[in-house]
Amino acid sequence: MGRRDRVVVVTGASSGIGRACALRFAEAGGALVVTARRADALEELATECRGRGADVLVAPADVTDAEAMDRVAAETVARFGRVDVWVNNAGVNMYGRTEEVPARLWHRVVETNLFGVYHGTRAVLPWFREQGGGTLINVSSVLGHTGFPQQSAYAASKHGIRALSDCVRQESLDVKGIVVCTVLPGPVDTPLFRVAANWTGRKVVPPGRPVSADRVAAQVLRCADHPRREVPVGGASRFGVLAARIVPGMVERAGARVLSRQHFADQPTAPSEGNLFEPPDFGARVDDGWRAGSRRRSRLSRALLVTGLLLGVAAVIATARAGVAGQPIVGRYAR
C-alpha cells in the first residue's frame, strides 16, 4: 500500500504531537481522519491538511467514550473504505502527590490515557482483522518504563499502554498484516504541560530541553512505514528507557532528587483540574515555545545525561561480568 492510498486516523489531533502527526501524514497524501474533543480546532487543522494534499474527515469524539470511538472507526470505513493506520495519541497529564490529588482526577487520567487507547484499539481491531492487516501505533512515554514523583496516574497509564500494546501484538499474531508499535517520547515541546492538572502548588515546566512535536511525528510516520515494537524518541527517552532497565534504583533516585527539581518553577499556582474534563480554550497548536526558553536548563540536562551515560556504561559492564545481562543490578529500594 503506497502512502498516497493510505487511510490514517489520529486521535488527540487538535494540538501538540497529534497535530504534528496529522500535518506530516497530510503531506504524504492519502486520507486522514482527525479526532479530539475540540471540533473548531480540528476544522482549522483539516483546512491546513487539505492544503497539503490530504482528503480529510473531521470526527470529534472523546476517547473516554467507547461507543464514540467505535463510531470514529465506522465513519472512517464508511467514508474511505478501510483504515490502514490508527494512532492512539490523545492524552492528558497531572501533577501532584498520589495521596493528595482528588481520586476522581487520578481516575480521569487513567480513563483518558489508558482507557482511551483501549477504546481506540478495540474500535479498530475488528476492521484490521476483516481487511487482513493494519498498523496500530500507541503513544506511551518514557514514563511507560519508569516512574516519576508527582505523576503516578500518568506513569501508571503509560505503563498500562505498553502492556496493552504487548498483549494485542500477541493476540494478533494470527493475522500477519496486523502490527502494533509503541512510541515512547521523552519531554516534548507541546501545550501538554500548560494544560495539565496541577495539585503541586508550583508551576510545571518541561524538564531539560524538550524535543519538537514534529520530531515525534516523524517517528510515528516511520512506524507506519517501517513498524517497530517500541520506539523511544529523543535522547532523554532513549537513555531513560535503557537506564530504567539496567539501573532502576538509580533512575528512581535521579527522578526524585534531581529531575523533579527541574520540573517545577518557583511560581506558585492554585490547584487546577487542567484539561482533564473540559478542553481548554487555548493551546490548539503544535509547539508551545518551551524549547526557546530551555537553554539554561539544557546545560544541566546535558550534565545529567553524560553522568547517566557513564553510569549506564559502568552498569552494563558490571552486569555482563556478573553474567546476568538484561537483569537489573540495582534492584533494591534506596531511601
Is there binding between residue 219 and ligand NDP (CB under 6 A)? no
Site for ligand NDP in 246-275 (CB under 6 A): 275
Nearer to ligand NDP, 123 or 315 (CB): 123
Decide: is 83 part of the binding site for ligand NDP (CB under 6 A): no
Cα angle value 22/107/179 (rounded, 5°)? 40
Of 8, 10, 15, 242, which lies in the binding site for ligand NDP, with binding defined by CB under 6 A? 15
Residue 12 contacts ligand NDP per CB under 6 A: yes
Nearest distance in Å: CB 193, ligand NDP: 7
Cα 63 from Cα 89, distance rounded (Å): 10
What whole-number distance in Å separates Cα of residue 49 and Cα of residue 162?
30
Interface size with ligand NDP, residues (CB under 6 A): 32
Report yes or no: 207 and 262 within 8 Å, Cβ to Cβ.
Answer: yes
Note whether 37 binds ligand NDP by CB under 6 A: yes
Choose the stretch contacting ligand NDP; rule: CB under 6 A; options: 188-196, 252-260, 299-307, 326-334: 188-196
Cell digits of residue 270: 492554585
| Residue 234 within binding range of ligand NDP, rule CB under 6 A | no
CB of 262 to ligand NDP, least distance (A): 13
Write the CB contacts of 56 (distance below 8 Å, at least 6 apart in sequence): 26, 31, 32, 33, 34, 46, 49, 50
Structure-block grid coordinates of residue 21: 502527526
- Here the cell at position 124 is 479498530
For the record, the C-alpha cell of 248 comes out as: 532502576
Nearer to ligand NDP, 275 or 319 (CB): 275
Q: Is 204 in the site for ligand NDP (CB under 6 A)?
A: no
The helix/strand/coil state of 61 is coil
Q: For residue 205, give the 3-state DSSP assignment.
A: coil
Our answer to whether residue 95 is catalytic in this structure is no
Among the listed ranges 7-15, 297-305, 309-317, 320-328, the one in contact with ligand NDP (CB under 6 A) is 7-15
Q: Does the footprint of ligand NDP cover residue 191 (CB under 6 A)?
A: yes
Strand partners, 233: 185
Q: Does 240 bind ligand NDP (CB under 6 A)?
A: no
Among 190, 198, 200, 319, the residue binding ligand NDP under the rule CB under 6 A is 190
**Residue 5 C-beta: closest distance to ligand NDP, Å:** 26
Question: Which DSSP symbol is given to 272?
Answer: B
Choose, by CB under 6 A, the member of 153, 178, 192, 251 that binds ligand NDP.
Answer: 192
- Distance between CA atoms of residues 154 and 248, nearest Å: 18
- The whole-angstrom distance between residue 308's C-alpha and the CA centroid of its chain comes to 23
- Minimal CA–CA distance to 39: which of 217, 273, 283, 279? 279
CB 206, min distance to ligand NDP, A: 6
The single residue among 92, 220, 246, 254 that binds ligand NDP, judged by CB under 6 A, is 92
| Residue with smaller CB distance to ligand NDP, 286 or 315 | 286
Strand order in the sheet with 55-58: 55-58, 31-35, 7-11, 85-88, 133-139, 177-185, 230-233
- Taking CB under 6 A as the rule, does residue 17 contact ligand NDP? yes
Out of 64, 152, 198, 294, name the contact with ligand NDP by CB under 6 A.
64
Residue closest to 328 by CA, chosen among 246, 241, 249 = 246
CB 189 within 8 A of CB 210: yes
List of residues contacting ligand NDP (CB under 6 A): 12-18, 36-38, 41, 62-64, 89-92, 112, 139, 141, 185, 187-188, 190-192, 195, 206, 210, 275, 279
Residues recognised as catalytic: 154
